[in-house]
Structure 1
Amino acid sequence: MASALLNRAGFINVFIYFIILAEPYMLLAAMVMAPLTGKNLERFRRWILIFAISNVGLAFIQWIFIPVGLYPKPDGGTVQDNIAGVFGGGGGSAGNYISCTVTIYVGLYVLNYYKQKPLWIRSSLLIAGILQTQISDSKQVFLALMGGGVLLVLTKVQYFRKLVIYAMVMAVLIGVFYWAVVNLDYAFLAPYRNWILRDGLYGPDGEATLTKTAAFRIIPTYYTSLLNWFFGLGPGHSVSRLGGWILRDYASLLAPLGSTTHPASEAVFNVVTSGWIARQSTVYFPLFTWSGIWGDLGFLGLFSYLYLAYVAWRWFCVDDAGKFFLLSTVVFGFILTQMEEPGQVVTIAILLGLQWHEAREARQARFSLAQHRLRQQVTNSLETLDS
């Protein structure tokens, strides 16, 4: 609200942006208030699995039937763009990225939770998610997951054994991937080879570097006072999902409600349309979540959001799987605006809430067992004294 008042942003901007950023935290708070135990918890878990299987199943149906015309294809976008499972939308949307990510996240949850099941069963959903990522050409998902794994390794500094194990696993995976890209001539590796080994993209003056960091150079040129550094340009006035996409795509709906835009958004978007690299890969888009939060709300808004993320990390990431979900989403925030997609962050909130309930139920079970053992010991002691 302070940012909106300072920059004369519309109230509808405030409302939508608040919902985009706060929705997963609100859902997580609601979940921990609900009495999910026993059969209710098992039923909730089962519905999550049904949803995930439906998502990946529909994605494979789209992969097979869209090219032959037996599945309706929305206008725009490639066939790969529309392999989006239950998140299918207009052509060129981020549905394919979200669908793959959700499948992999739930697959990791299944692999981590159902440890009594055979490995081939509990890993099948994860393998399906990896294949779905490949057939939908969602390369940035692998990049974010790898980045999340590296960040997870860095959190294990205090636990030397875990640090070594995780670091070795990540080093092997990265090493094998790089070797394959350099030495193997498979078609599915060609896109990675094109971006990793191409000269002139990286470095201080590289095309990729200049395009990706364009928002940080452009946004401050629109500051009118020192307060902009603390409160930004206003909700939806820079390169967040609201300013970069929603206000543009739904202008006919939101403009009558008093939505406001800002020339900074258009200036950064012009970098995309005037160059070639961002149109070739969304990895190099200058519009992404972390720059958007900073541009819209300033450093105070950015620190406020980071504090909410810390609360989620502190209280709801009960194991390494939950931490990986959160950290890989952080990496997604550096690529595009997938961190502001409800399908992404709501899934994370649900999985974190589910794991929180499972951990609480496990603690209660251990406590009940300890009480039973204590009562048994007291009873045995009394019987011994009586005898």
Structure 2
Amino acid sequence: MTSEVPSQVAVPLKKGVVRNSKLLLIGFATVFFPRLFTYFGAPSPLNFAHFIVIPIIVGIVLFTTRIKDQKQIAIVGELIVGFGVLVACTTASALINDAGIINVFLQLMFLGEPFLFLIAMMAVPLVGENLEKFRRWFAGFCLFNLILALAQNVLIPIGIYPAARGGQLLSDNTAGVFASPGGSAGNYISATVSLYFAFYFFNTFKTVPRWLRIAVIIAAIYQTYVSDSKQTFVQMFIGWLLVVWTNLEKPLKIFLYLIPVVLILAIFSWALVETDWEFLDPYRNFTTARADQNLYGPDGQATLLKTAGFRIIPAYFTTPLNYLFGLGPGHTATRLGGWFLRDPNFQNLLIPLGATIHPASEAFWQLIKSPAGWLFKDSTMFSPMYTWVGLWGDLGPVGLGAYLYLSSIVWRRVCVDDFCKFLLLSTAIMGCIFTQMEEPGQMLTVACFLGLRWHEERERRRNRNSIGSAVENSETDHPLSPPQIN
């Protein structure tokens, strides 16, 4: 009889698989939405509940999942080993510098939580209807963030949506689910998540009309503009250039791609100087508006401010081991030391638990508050505190190498297309600007995109192979097929 090609291969799902995928969504929600609840009055510790929830969920997934794909098992194993190396380096740095155990835990969560979540995603066999449900829920979360940000920009000025306390600008309040009542970089995080989602939505949801997918991209770009998240355009543009470069078989061909890039930059520079277009004002703020000031030369004010960490941190080295393992977790310019442990509320909570604070962190703030730090008040682009310098300062080149090794596993084993490369490379550029690489809401969103793309690509190959096998069987079993000769 003639075999029919199945339109969709049915995959039996165990109850445990469904439970684990739902746990992943719950865990992601504890990272994605708490700022929205605290914005409307929920207790602020809710923002950090995910530091407990995510490790518990990862443990449950690893102990209950029953994946059989050897490649998938190998990836999970490599990620666990890489995370273990990061744990070992962080612990060694803490022991050398007498950092508190709570510093170790918080530093690992700020830096390693996305990798933990990715380990759990790779340990769950997301297939068939289960994969589709997960994708729809995740896309719904991201779309809600975009819509809410656009609504905030309209409703806050007319008083329908409450504005945050503390005299924040409207642009700071246009932060979707990441708005904070006390002020934060939520606008940057929200805009970044919206742009990543818009690109993913355009490339993945092919059944949605093209005009609607383009509209989502335009909406995300508009959100980035009205929220004054100009650095997001910069980091994504550089990330795109790096993706182009990684795809070149002959590196010299990069010059062919540089021609349109140089042309775009030339037009952009001309517009900054020769036009008065209002939407370019944020970029004039640190370019042509201060052309008469010495900003970007070797001894420029911006250059000296941005590179201050490489002078401040070594000044506090007291042992040769500091050159290898840094000054200790949370002791320099990471989000933990530079921001989290400076908050009096968190100090009152964590210092009794053994948290340690280092004078190197305060040295950064003394610089920022001094006349030499005036540029930071205009734009975070000039911040002397950013993830890469903080990671080097806290954990030294050994810890930095451990983090890069863990990231390389993701690059080699999880990245399945240019979108995944773009996520990683543009995120790395963010780490050169500010501490966005340590923002849980943004980084777990990136981890979710990476895991989803891996599962989607695996599903695509599996369906293609199943359909190919069905076609082959159909041709073999057809009554008019020629006899097989052995």
Tell me which interval the TM-score lies in, with the shorter structure as reference length.
over 0.9
Q: Helix, strand or coil for the counterpart of 1:384? A: coil
Partner of 1:97: 188
Work out the CA distance in 1 between the residues paired with 2:144 and 2:253.
Answer: 35
1:1-387 aligned at under 5 Å gives the runs: 1-76=91-166, 77-158=168-249, 167=258, 170-171=261-262, 173-197=264-288, 198-199=290-291, 200-249=294-343, 250-274=346-370, 275-379=373-477, 384-385=482-483
Work out the CA distance in 2 between the residues paired with 1:339 and 1:113.
Answer: 25
Kindly indicate whether the alpha-carbon contact (under 8 Å) linking 2:475 and 2:481 is maintained by their aligned counterparts in 1: no
Work out the CA distance in 2 between the residues paired with 1:204 and 1:65.
Answer: 45
Report how far residue 375 of structure 1 moved: 2.5
Q: C-alpha deviations, 1:237-296, integer Å up to 9, x for none?
A: 000000001111221211111110100011112111112111111110100000010000
Report how far residue 183 of structure 1 moved: 2.8
Work out the CA distance in 2 between the residues paired with 1:145 and 1:175.
Answer: 19
Instruction: Give the TM-score, by structure 1 length.
Output: 0.94
Q: C-alpha deviations, 1:88-121, integer Å up to 9, x for none?
A: 1134301110000000000000111134543321
Q: Helix, strand or coil for the counterpart of 1:55? A: helix
Q: Helix, strand or coil for the counterpart of 1:123? A: helix
Q: Output the aligned Cα RMSD.
A: 2.2
Work out the CA distance in 1 between the residues paired with 2:208 and 2:256.
Answer: 24
Report how far residue 53 of structure 1 moved: 1.8
Kindly indicate whether the alpha-carbon contact (under 8 Å) linking 2:245 and 2:251 is maintained by their aligned counterparts in 1: no
Work out the CA distance in 1 between the residues paired with 2:111 and 2:269.
Answer: 35
Equivalent pairs, count: 387
Amino acid in the other structure paired with 2:211: W
- Seen in structure 2, the aligned counterparts of structure 1 residues 173 and 320 have a Cα distance that, compared at 3 Å, is farther
Q: C-alpha deviations, 1:126-158, integer Å up to 9, x for none?
A: 211110111111111111111211211221221
Unaligned runs of 5+ in 2: 1-90
- Seen in structure 2, the aligned counterparts of structure 1 residues 384 and 98 have a Cα distance that, compared at 3 Å, is same
Kindly indicate whether the alpha-carbon contact (under 8 Å) linking 1:149 and 1:170 is maintained by their aligned counterparts in 2: no
Report how far residue 365 of structure 1 moved: 1.3
Amino acid in the other structure paired with 1:105: Y
- Seen in structure 2, the aligned counterparts of structure 1 residues 356 and 175 have a Cα distance that, compared at 3 Å, is farther
Instruction: Give the TM-score, by structure 2 length.
Output: 0.76
Report how far residue 180 of structure 1 moved: 2.7
336-345 or 108-117, larger mean C-alpha shift? 108-117
- Seen in structure 2, the aligned counterparts of structure 1 residues 247 and 334 have a Cα distance that, compared at 3 Å, is same
Report how far residue 35 of structure 1 moved: 2.1
Q: Helix, strand or coil for the counterpart of 1:110? A: helix
Report how far residue 74 of structure 1 moved: 2.1
Work out the CA distance in 2 between the residues paired with 1:161 and 1:376.
Answer: 48
Kindly indicate whether the alpha-carbon contact (under 8 Å) linking 1:25 and 1:349 is maintained by their aligned counterparts in 2: yes
Work out the CA distance in 2 between the residues paired with 1:175 and 1:116.
Answer: 38
131-140 or 174-183, larger mean C-alpha shift? 174-183
Report how far residue 191 of structure 1 moved: 2.0
Q: Helix, strand or coil for the counterpart of 2:318? A: coil
Amino acid in the other structure paired with 1:16: L
Q: Percent identity?
A: 50
Report how far residue 161 of structure 1 moved: 12
286-295 or 262-271, larger mean C-alpha shift? 262-271
> Structure 1 segments of 4 or more deviating over 4 A?
159-173, 380-383
Amino acid in the other structure paired with 2:179: G
